[in-house]
Chains A and B, each alone.
Chain A
């Protein structure tokens, strides 16, 4: 009996009226965990019941603790008929199961009903007493921490990054069971919510077990998804990266890597060391060791013995090559060897992380992706297992693919895809895949499985045990150029996996780099970027004939390569049009519908200083003898050139001119080359490798041979840049901006358009889709105009095709304000530095003092920098109207907040029948004096409801995350049979999303947190039937609940204990 769960129901408020006669409610609460149910007394005739129940105690296995949610049902007591349910609250108690997270869950939770939405709130206190029973440890995985964040969480240090963990669970979907025909929609929805909650609990526990087997203690970059396959069932699958994390004890000892990224950026180039002075004392400074040294007291014995033997070799060989002074060939080979051996034990050397500790990433090969079209078949054995009853066993059901009689499980499907990814990475000379993710798109019985990541060579240090000594660490550190190293090609120059054009690195001039780099990861913090980045999207639609089963799958498989090719071409064109040479955070989503396929690729384009300047785009006509045509072509060409020039100015891309003779490196001919290796397979082993390079053409030429191509060129030019003061990217932070202020606004926007079914062509479809996305972005810019200057970060587009003629686009992103002036200054110094760096001697040993020089220079504003700053700020001023409104608002705000506070104070002091002084005639006669007296306003206003910030980023600008409280993973269904009355589809979904946000915030607040980071809306499935006045929506969200402290507050309380900080913010977030 390893755990005791204690629950107390305190009170309710704002309950709905359940008894029409009295306009009141007789509410009571059922508390259910596993098979045990407790009830509170009925609190008669109140909309704000005070139950103040005893502690309900559940004695349970820790296995159950992990799997089961606590289920709280609020009901209205009815003497004569059945009790009416008001709503439910599901509480995931997982955060209480590991020691460092929350100790108590206490607060107001919205009472949620799948038909009516939120109906009042309930105050609940939950505690868990865990008994340490180590013998039982294997069955549960209590204590393994989960993080959605795809980087090492801010207040932890990665001791070892173990690698990929995955798991999936399958069950029948309650919505498609026979019983669904006779039960109410509410019962069906609740069965589904509960099932998914159970399944994700189980999934998490199983993944935890795998982590424990690997001797890890945490999962980072945990991504859990649902596949709603309809008739054939429901799949919950998850991937993540197992790590051994060490908690950093005091905030003062935070490593720079654990600082907020804004800090990190500022500390470039020495961000691995908080004290730059130590560098002057040379590479053997022991201080530097501190950063990476592994605490000797902790020795983790690895499970696989083979890597142990490798480890013992590592230090010696590492030392030998370390003295070479530059990154030589033999060292590289050796490094590869080590990494290889460390990684080869793993079935899949994948990492779901997108940002890494400095030095982790050695080289980046390029994007690898794999897709596979599968046919979902009916489950053979429809016997219903478990959720309605009390057993908790899930059968892993057999999945039959259409062309094979052998049973094929979901696991096998994914294994196949992962194998493919692995082989693609190998072809790029890489042993690992980083920024790895998996997704599906399902339409009827066809399912596209996709996986993608970035092939990379990693530093073995982090993958292995802590026996490696500091000396080696240091050598490695010196020898791996951190700033441009990741750009250098990992593959063999003479044996390239695809035709590519290589040049010497523009930064170190020693290694070869490709001309363009595509990745799925975030921009490494130590990368040198020129100018700012921007969001680049490729959008594409392809019509497809409606077909059944096999024919449908074949049709889709045939279309996929063309789509990938076109998406890629579009990305490349747009990148060149922006004058940039690298893409980060690339995410290509292919969505399948009844009669079309949609492709949407989003990425953040940047100009990497290490890569060559991109060439322009040339236009060529096919009919050279037509005069007017020629003229038209040249006109287009001019337009394109102008756009490139304009974009370069807009994104401040002014690469330093480098004299050619420096190393005599060939100046690159602009040339298109692909780094995308992909394949489509149709549940068979047939692998098509697609060469996306454009043959042997020297320049990137767009041939206009038909109207289609013409359209393409036009669409290239129609992408409108964001209004001045706005930037956007889909990565964590915007390259080139690093002075974030603290204002953030996370939002979700959903749009559905109906296509006119008449004469749909690919072209019309493309235009519609393009307009949809562009208009959506424009709307966002307009809505958030009061935040200018600001940047939309982590812009995440999701496309789905809910019906024949409907396209749904969901966007979640966060707008962050930044300080324009300071940002400009730092960018400038950044460029300044890179300039200096490029022109300096290539002796690496000399580089340190020189860089220190440039650092100190840049701290004094240089005359040209200043000039630049002034002109820029005057050019891109905010429109006067916007400024005016914001000013007006703030002054009003002060006034308002003060009297709201006043009223609250008064409310406390006024008692019924309080004594009032009799006003005599004499007193009243001095006109109005006494009446309109100004009451003194209290200095600050406390909100009644604690503010909870939400952000898709892993950090909160201007604040320090002091504690991770656990993962938030919630699934909601909302249904209505009175769509019109609820304001139509927009009203319905608007309310639902607002409710989802509210429930996430309430859970975080109850855990004692004040923010959710790495928030993601993984699913938003919306179905409507306007004729029946019905609609249904499913939403799945996740994130990490955290406690953060403002950096300004931190300085004030820095003398206090960090726990005190925690507590103060806990209470702040708590109920009031």
Chain B
């Protein structure tokens, strides 16, 4: 006796959260059944393995049918085939678009292309996430990217509107899209200590302050691309380190203000010129795409690592950066105050977030 056909269709579509998770995690039906058996569900319910198998198959089939709709979540809301309560619809969408930290760190900043997709095998082996799940996550990134790529308006809002994600998840996706678009390097060994959250935080600050949409909402309101004009202008900041008088003045202003307030004052004093040069040079280099990509590598190399090797506590870093950016306002010979604020405001936020072990 073999079962040829075995289905269950409810007027309200039954969604089993546990099975959904297993499906999203890319387990085969057999593996999912084994995992469910291990969870002790048979003992709790008195069911048999055959029942579990049939139930799992059924849910998998439902999810498979729903997947098409999940690719365009508004469709899930308007479709008539599956009657699903709104709360469950939200759950389906949210979980479908959720991603693994380990996976996103591998892909963040990479071009979402076929080439990267081929590397998923390696990522799967490396992270222990099933290939199927990797594919889903990768495809999700790519799909969101494609949809919002050419769109005007706020990136987060666009994502939320077209994918009905929660605020939190939409922000994460905005970061992923932003990173993919600007191809920031995140995979270097130096950057391994950083979490996705760190990058997402930076991305958000950058979107808010460094993109075209940040200054001029009337024209092309693009959140995806960095404001080219702004990057070009950043060259002007070079004077801060190129002009020796300005550099000395800047240093003395900072040192005067921080004397006695900083545990690592002497180290700071010794390193000031190096640090300032580092920060300003990063700004000046951003005209080249290649250097934009290396932004995070540079920041870590030029600022985070030197400070860390001198054991600066985070509070000192904050004091320093606040003073460092504020003191520029007192430099009479310096004319690019607004530019400096736009640059340093964001950078300060990023650096503080990046500064940890």
A753 with B65: CB separation less than 8 A = no
Q: What chain A residues lie within 8 Å of B167 (beta carbons)?
A: 899, 932, 935
Is A527 engaged at the interface, CB distance under 8 Å to the other chain?
Answer: no
Bound-state CA distance A985–B46 (Å) is 29
A-contacting residues, B85-115, CB 8 Å:
85-91, 94
A121-B80, A998-B80 known; A750 vs B161 contact (CB < 8 Å): no
A-contacting residues, B302-357, CB 8 Å:
341-342, 344-346, 348-349, 352-353
A14-B75, A913-B152 known; A897 vs B10 contact (CB < 8 Å): no
A896 with B8: CB separation less than 8 A = no
Is B127 engaged at the interface, CB distance under 8 Å to the other chain?
Answer: no
Is A650 engaged at the interface, CB distance under 8 Å to the other chain?
Answer: no
B1 with A985: CB separation less than 8 A = no
Q: Which of A374-382, A413-421, A690-698, A940-948 contacts B (4 or more CB under 8 A)?
A: A940-948
Bound-state CA distance A522–B80 (Å) is 34
Output the least CB separation between A825 and chain B (Å): 27
Is A856 engaged at the interface, CB distance under 8 Å to the other chain?
Answer: no
Q: What chain A residues lie within 8 Å of B48 (beta carbons)?
A: 775, 778
B-contacting residues, A895-938, CB 8 Å:
896-897, 899-901, 903, 906-907, 910, 912-922, 924-925, 927-928, 931-932, 935
B153 with A913: CB separation less than 8 A = yes
Bound-state CA distance A928–B198 (Å) is 12
A751 contact from B6, B90, B349, Cβ within 8 A: B6
Q: What chain B residues lie within 8 Å of A782 (beta carbons)?
A: 45, 47, 51-52, 55
Q: What chain A residues lie within 8 Å of B58 (beta carbons)?
A: 783, 990
For chain B, the count of residues having a C-beta within 8 Å of the partner chain is 81
A775 contact from B14, B50, B79, Cβ within 8 A: B50
Is A997 engaged at the interface, CB distance under 8 Å to the other chain?
Answer: yes
Bound-state CA distance A754–B2 (Å) is 5
Is B204 engaged at the interface, CB distance under 8 Å to the other chain?
Answer: yes
A752 with B3: CB separation less than 8 A = yes
Is B256 engaged at the interface, CB distance under 8 Å to the other chain?
Answer: no
A943 contact from B6, B54, B86, B157, Cβ within 8 A: B86
B5 with A752: CB separation less than 8 A = yes
Q: What chain A residues lie within 8 Å of B218 (beta carbons)?
A: 913, 915
A893-B88, A903-B161 known; A783 vs B44 contact (CB < 8 Å): no
A990 with B7: CB separation less than 8 A = yes
A-contacting residues, B1-33, CB 8 Å:
1-14, 17-18
Is B194 engaged at the interface, CB distance under 8 Å to the other chain?
Answer: no
Is B61 engaged at the interface, CB distance under 8 Å to the other chain?
Answer: yes
Q: Which of A78-86, A741-749, A1054-1062 contacts B (4 or more CB under 8 A)?
A: A741-749
A906-B157, A990-B7, A995-B81 known; A893 vs B217 contact (CB < 8 Å): no
A768-B1, A915-B217, A941-B86 known; A986 vs B345 contact (CB < 8 Å): no
B90 contact from A768, A896, A920, Cβ within 8 A: A896
Q: What chain A residues lie within 8 Å of B171 (beta carbons)?
A: 931
Q: What chain A residues lie within 8 Å of B344 (beta carbons)?
A: 921
Most chain B CB within 10 A, of A916, A928, A941, is at: A916
B45 with A13: CB separation less than 8 A = no
Bound-state CA distance A896–B86 (Å) is 8
Output the least CB separation between A379 and chain B (Å): 33
A997 with B2: CB separation less than 8 A = no
A892-B87, A921-B346 known; A13 vs B152 contact (CB < 8 Å): no
Bound-state CA distance A921–B166 (Å) is 26
Is A885 engaged at the interface, CB distance under 8 Å to the other chain?
Answer: yes
Is B78 engaged at the interface, CB distance under 8 Å to the other chain?
Answer: yes
Chain A interface extent, by class: 35 or more
Q: What chain B residues lie within 8 Å of A783 (beta carbons)?
A: 8, 14, 55, 58
Bound-state CA distance A228–B80 (Å) is 30
Q: What chain A residues lie within 8 Å of B87 (beta carbons)?
A: 892-894, 896-897, 900, 941
| Cβ proximity bits A84-100 to B, threshold 8 Å, 1 near / 0 not | 00000000000000000
A994 with B14: CB separation less than 8 A = no
Is B64 engaged at the interface, CB distance under 8 Å to the other chain?
Answer: yes
Is B230 engaged at the interface, CB distance under 8 Å to the other chain?
Answer: no
Is A991 engaged at the interface, CB distance under 8 Å to the other chain?
Answer: yes
B80 with A1002: CB separation less than 8 A = yes
Bound-state CA distance A669–B193 (Å) is 85
Is B209 engaged at the interface, CB distance under 8 Å to the other chain?
Answer: yes
Q: What chain A residues lie within 8 Å of B81 (beta carbons)?
A: 110, 118, 994-995, 997-998
Is A134 engaged at the interface, CB distance under 8 Å to the other chain?
Answer: no
Bound-state CA distance A756–B4 (Å) is 12
B205 with A924: CB separation less than 8 A = yes
**What residue in chain B is nearest A910 (Cβ atoms)?**
B157
Bound-state CA distance A775–B80 (Å) is 31
A925 contact from B57, B82, B214, B349, Cβ within 8 A: B349
Bound-state CA distance A14–B78 (Å) is 9
Bound-state CA distance A927–B10 (Å) is 47
**What residue in chain A is nearest B157 (Cβ atoms)?**
A910
A986 with B6: CB separation less than 8 A = yes
Output the least CB separation between A924 and chain B (Å): 6
A893 with B85: CB separation less than 8 A = yes
Bound-state CA distance A990–B81 (Å) is 11
Is A549 engaged at the interface, CB distance under 8 Å to the other chain?
Answer: no
Bound-state CA distance A907–B160 (Å) is 9
Q: What chain A residues lie within 8 Å of B14 (beta carbons)?
A: 745, 783
A986 with B166: CB separation less than 8 A = no
**What residue in chain A is nearest B353 (Cβ atoms)?**
A927
Bound-state CA distance A909–B9 (Å) is 37
Q: What chain B residues lie within 8 Å of A885 (beta carbons)?
A: 17-18
Is A295 engaged at the interface, CB distance under 8 Å to the other chain?
Answer: no
Q: What chain B residues lie within 8 Å of A215 (beta carbons)?
A: none
Is A881 engaged at the interface, CB distance under 8 Å to the other chain?
Answer: yes
A747-B8, A900-B86, A949-B11 known; A924 vs B161 contact (CB < 8 Å): no
Bound-state CA distance A603–B349 (Å) is 72
A756-B1, A919-B209 known; A897 vs B86 contact (CB < 8 Å): yes
Q: What chain A residues lie within 8 Å of B9 (beta carbons)?
A: 747-749, 990, 993-994, 997
B51 with A775: CB separation less than 8 A = yes
Output the least CB separation between A580 and chain B (Å): 24
A922 contact from B40, B152, B345, Cβ within 8 A: B345
A947 contact from B57, B62, B83, B94, Cβ within 8 A: B83
B1 with A753: CB separation less than 8 A = yes
Is A989 engaged at the interface, CB distance under 8 Å to the other chain?
Answer: yes
B80 with A110: CB separation less than 8 A = yes
Q: What chain B residues lie within 8 Å of A1044 (beta carbons)?
A: none
Q: What chain B residues lie within 8 Å of A943 (beta carbons)?
A: 85-86
A944 with B47: CB separation less than 8 A = no
Is A779 engaged at the interface, CB distance under 8 Å to the other chain?
Answer: yes
Bound-state CA distance A944–B90 (Å) is 13
B4 with A985: CB separation less than 8 A = yes
Is B41 engaged at the interface, CB distance under 8 Å to the other chain?
Answer: yes
Q: What chain A residues lie within 8 Å of B346 (beta carbons)?
A: 921, 924
B-contacting residues, A766-790, CB 8 Å:
768, 771-772, 775, 778-783, 785
Is A987 engaged at the interface, CB distance under 8 Å to the other chain?
Answer: yes
Is B208 engaged at the interface, CB distance under 8 Å to the other chain?
Answer: yes
A993 with B12: CB separation less than 8 A = no
Q: What chain B residues lie within 8 Å of A14 (beta carbons)?
A: 75, 78-79
Output the least CB separation between A551 and chain B (Å): 29
Is B201 engaged at the interface, CB distance under 8 Å to the other chain?
Answer: yes
Output the least CB separation between A719 and chain B (Å): 15
Is A740 engaged at the interface, CB distance under 8 Å to the other chain?
Answer: no
Known: A896-B94, A994-B65. 19 other contacts (CB 8 A): A751-B3, A753-B2, A754-B2, A756-B1, A897-B86, A900-B89, A914-B217, A918-B214, A918-B217, A924-B349, A925-B345, A931-B171, A932-B167, A945-B77, A986-B5, A987-B64, A990-B62, A994-B9, A997-B81
Which 4 A/B pairs are nearest by Cβ-Cβ distance?
A921-B345, A896-B90, A893-B87, A752-B5
Name 22 interchain pairs, CB-CB below 8 A, sorted by A: A108-B80, A746-B10, A752-B3, A754-B1, A754-B4, A779-B54, A781-B47, A881-B44, A893-B90, A893-B91, A896-B166, A897-B86, A900-B77, A916-B217, A918-B217, A921-B346, A924-B346, A925-B349, A941-B87, A986-B61, A997-B9, A1002-B80
